[in-house]
């Protein structure tokens, strides 16, 4: 009898933990929809990309549920993104039936579109009024021709930045597996990889996401406590790019004969300080219907001596722009030169985004764009000098030089020379690549990645990169191609200038005081 009692106790102790674990697991009969269980104070941080936003260039999307709307039908959400060097923050209102945005601040409008097409995309199939369970074979079908059945396909544990989750995989297969990992206790997916629906070739990602952090805070959490960068303010007189009515088109072979760059830009005769749109295709020489895949490139502005004045990738806080299927479209506000702005489309090579490219396909195409004077603003001549309106002159910043020594790509401990620099605000530091391989100067660290404060892009052998440090603080940086290379810049508070006239007055006063004491020794004794 005692034997059976011991066995029963042992079995009980064995089964209870398993039962408890199962009670916390995602059950197939659980119902779910995007936004389920969302409450005030919840916050989420995602790494996300979407094909229609710079060809799936990744960025960080953070949001915090501040409070309910006045009518109780939705949530007011503090929404912040860190997209390379661009940091934006605003208020987005989402519904409770579906968590799609119903209103938002203008500066975050583009990013709320990315949110709708990624984080809340599954509300096309499941809503509060039509929640879905994980024990049905299909939730719906994709919207493409011959749409695929979308539904639970697997049950997996998945580990992401925010932790390990017990999930159901919502997915479908068309050429490749499309997967969205859902934990029924989390209001939004914890991970996703969804591909573009293509008829031929390797499909590029349509969107990806990964949950980095989640929690609840009744005060604004760090994930949305960011300083917003200034947005470009353009004149109301600026023309809107119109590729159909006012554009210039051409197809040119690169200087290295590596490929044909088919480009179209609009407006045809833009004003400096206004938007310009470039639509690009990178095509094979032997057959222009075939395009390069995974092409890294940049758009430069140079002066008459081919000195680089501007990099679009650097302006976006990236090392390179990326065209996964050989096409790309960029609209940006440019500071042109008169009477012609010299754009350079630089094919840097092929390779996965963020990797060191294979430069065998690299090459340049120069595009000269007739440019009009800015509306009410300064312009730059094609020799690089700025015309009026005049501005107050400032003291030329101190110049500091740092070398990237030869052998830096060997991972043998070689690092920047100087590795750590202490300077005053207003100092310009110039890095010179004296190695025989390309490098970068990227703010942040190899462990946490770029922080968007400055980025040189790829510095080819013999080239330089300069950055002026205006604000006090500590800035770490590293080399993306060779991440063991690291350095830091400490910018101390500025020492206020002491006027020479004040110094002379002090010397005179002190001198007269000493003389007075010597002439009147009795007075000095009394003192």
Lowest mean per-residue pLDDT among 2-6, 263-267, 349-353 = 2-6
* Of 422 and 408, more confident: 422
Tokens of 438: 């390309």
Residues of the domain holding 95: 31-224
Strands 295-302 and 308-311 come out as: antiparallel
What's 294's domain CATH number? Answer: 2.60.40.1930
Average pLDDT over residues 340-345: 97
Residue 355 pLDDT greater than 90, yes or no: no
Does residue 22 fall inside a structural domain?
no
Does residue 145 fall inside a structural domain?
yes
Contact 97, 165 (CB under 8 A): no
Does residue 340 fall inside a structural domain?
yes
Query: Which residues does residue 319 pair with via DSSP β-bridges, in sequence order?
Result: none
Tokens of 499: 């006027």
* Of 467 and 507, more confident: 467
- 423, 502: one domain: no
Query: Which residues does residue 376 pair with via DSSP β-bridges, in sequence order?
Result: none
Does residue 10 fall inside a structural domain?
no
Nearest of 235, 250, 232 to residue 368 by alpha carbon = 250
Contact 320, 348 (CB under 8 A): yes
Burial of 205 (0-12, 13-18, 19+ CB in 10 A): buried
Q: Which of 30-39, 499-508, 515-524 has the highest mean pLDDT?
A: 30-39
- The mean pLDDT value of the chain amounts to 83
Does residue 81 fall inside a structural domain?
yes
Show which of 332, 353, 381 is a domain's final residue.
Answer: 381
Nearest of 48, 336, 14, 55 to residue 191 by alpha carbon = 48
- 486, 527: one domain: no
- 42, 173: one domain: yes
Tokens of 416: 């920047």
3-state per-residue secondary structure call for 49-85? EECCCCCCCCEEEEEEEEEECCCCCEEEEEEEEEECC
pLDDT at 234: 80
pLDDT at 462: 74
- 179, 273: one domain: no
Can you say how many angstroms the Cα of residue 422 is from the centroid of all Cα atoms in its chain? 27
Does residue 392 fall inside a structural domain?
no
Does residue 435 fall inside a structural domain?
yes
Residue 393 pLDDT greater than 70, yes or no: no
- 276, 210: one domain: no
- 501, 487: one domain: no
Tokens of 41: 């104070």
- From CA 156, how far away is CA 167, in angstroms rounded? 5
Tokens of 168: 């159901």
Nearest of 158, 156, 195 to residue 173 by alpha carbon = 195
Contact 183, 166 (CB under 8 A): yes
Q: pLDDT-derived band of residue 26, with 50, 70 and 90 as boundaries?
A: low
- From CA 411, how far away is CA 379, in angstroms rounded? 45
pLDDT in tens, 430-452: 888 887 778 888 888 877 778 88
What count of Cα atoms within 13 Å lies in the side-chain half-sphere of residue 418?
Answer: 11
- Tell me the C-alpha to C-alpha distance, in Å, between residue 294 and each of 55, 56, 78, 349, 472: 10, 12, 35, 9, 39
Q: For the chain, how long is the longest CA-to-CA vector?
A: 116
* Ramachandran angles phi, psi of 5, nearest 5°: -65, -45
Nearest of 115, 111, 80, 81 to residue 98 by alpha carbon = 115
* Ramachandran angles phi, psi of 88, nearest 5°: -130, 145
Lowest mean per-residue pLDDT among 151-155, 244-248, 312-316, 494-498 = 494-498
Contact 187, 195 (CB under 8 A): no
DSSP state of 127: B
Does residue 144 fall inside a structural domain?
yes
Count other Cβ atoms within 10 Å, centred on residue 233.
7
- 257, 369: one domain: yes
Instruction: State how many domains the chain has.
Output: 4
Which positions ≥6 away from 341 have C-beta within 8 Å? 272, 301, 334, 368, 369, 371, 382
- 365, 503: one domain: no
DSSP state of 258: S
pLDDT at 73: 94
- 198, 182: one domain: yes
What's 443's domain CATH number? Answer: 2.60.40.420
- From CA 76, how far away is CA 22, in angstroms rounded? 35
Contact 168, 152 (CB under 8 A): yes
Positive or negative torsion for Cα 308, 313, 314, 315:
positive
Q: What's the pTM value of the predicted model, to 2 decimals? A: 0.59
Q: What percent of the chain has pLDDT over 90?
A: 51
Which positions ≥6 away from 390 have C-beta within 8 Å? none
- 285, 313: one domain: yes
Q: pLDDT-derived band of residue 2, with 50, 70 and 90 as boundaries?
A: low
- 179, 300: one domain: no
Contact 56, 117 (CB under 8 A): no
Residue 391 pLDDT greater than 50, yes or no: no
Positive or negative torsion for Cα 195, 198, 203, 205:
negative
Residue 381 pLDDT greater than 60, yes or no: no
pLDDT in tens, 184-237: 999 999 999 999 887 777 788 999 999 999 999 999 999 999 888 876 678 889
- 482, 521: one domain: no
- From CA 324, how far away is CA 327, in angstroms rounded? 7
């Amino acid at each position: 009898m005692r034997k059976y009692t011991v066995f029963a106790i042992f079995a009980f102790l064995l089964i209870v933990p398993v039962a408890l674990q199962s009670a916390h697991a995602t059950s197939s009969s659980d119902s779910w929809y995007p936004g389920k269980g969302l409450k005030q104070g919840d916050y989420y941080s995602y790494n996300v990309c979407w094909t229609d936003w710079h060809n799936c260039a990744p960025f960080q999307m953070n949001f915090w549920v501040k409070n309910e709307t006045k009518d109780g039908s939705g949530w007011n959400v503090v929404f912040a993104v860190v997209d390379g060097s661009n940091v934006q923050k605003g208020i987005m209102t989402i519904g409770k039936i579906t968590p799609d945005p119903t209103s938002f601040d203008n500066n975050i409008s583009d990013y709320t579109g990315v949110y709708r097409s990624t984080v809340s995309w599954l509300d096309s199939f499941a809503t509060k009024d039509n929640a879905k369970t994980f024990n049905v074979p299909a939730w719906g079908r994709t919207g493409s021709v011959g749409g695929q059945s979308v539904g639970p396909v697997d049950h997996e544990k998945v580990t992401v930045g925010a932790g390990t989750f017990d999930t159901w995989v919502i997915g479908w297969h068309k050429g490749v597996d499309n997967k969205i990992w859902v934990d029924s206790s989390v209001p939004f997916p914890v991970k996703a990889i969804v591909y573009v629906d293509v008829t031929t070739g390797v499909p590029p990602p349509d969107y990806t996401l990964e949950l980095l952090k989640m929690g609840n805070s009744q005060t604004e959490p760090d994930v949305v406590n960011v300083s917003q960068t200034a947005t470009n303010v353009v004149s109301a007189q600026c023309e809107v790019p119109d590729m159909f009515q006012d554009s210039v088109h051409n197809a040119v072979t690169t200087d290295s004969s590596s490929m044909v760059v088919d480009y179209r830009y609009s407006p045809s005769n833009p004003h400096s300080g206004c938007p310009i749109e470039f639509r690009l295709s990178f095509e094979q020489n032997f057959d222009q219907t075939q395009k390069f895949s995974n092409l890294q490139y940049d758009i430069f502005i140079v002066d008459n001596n081919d000195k680089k004045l501007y990099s679009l990738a650097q302006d976006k806080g990236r090392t390179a722009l990326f065209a996964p299927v050989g096409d790309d479209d960029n609209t940006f506000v440019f500071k042109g030169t008169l009477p012609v702005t010299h754009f350079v489309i630089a094919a840097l090579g092929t390779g996965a985004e963020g990797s060191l490219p294979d430069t065998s396909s690299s090459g340049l195409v120069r595009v000269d764009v007739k440019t009009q004077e800015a509306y009410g603003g300064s312009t730059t001549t094609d020799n690089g000098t700025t015309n009026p309106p005049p501005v107050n002159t400032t003291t030329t910043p101190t110049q500091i030089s740092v070398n990237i020594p030869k052998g830096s790509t060997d991972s043998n401990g070689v690092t920047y020379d100087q590795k750590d620099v202490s300077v005053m605000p207003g100092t310009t530091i110039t890095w010179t690549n004296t190695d025989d391989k390309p490098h970068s100067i990227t703010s942040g660290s190899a462990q946490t990645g770029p922080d968007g404060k400055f980025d040189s892009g790829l510095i080819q052998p013999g080239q330089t990169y300069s950055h002026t440090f205006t604000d006090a603080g500590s800035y770490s940086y590293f080399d993306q191609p060779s991440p063991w290379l690291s350095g830091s810049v400490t910018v101390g508070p500025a020492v206020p200038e002491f006027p020479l006239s004040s110094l002379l007055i002090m010397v005179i006063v002190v001198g007269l005081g000493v003389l007075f004491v010597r002439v009147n020794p009795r007075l000095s004794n009394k003192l």
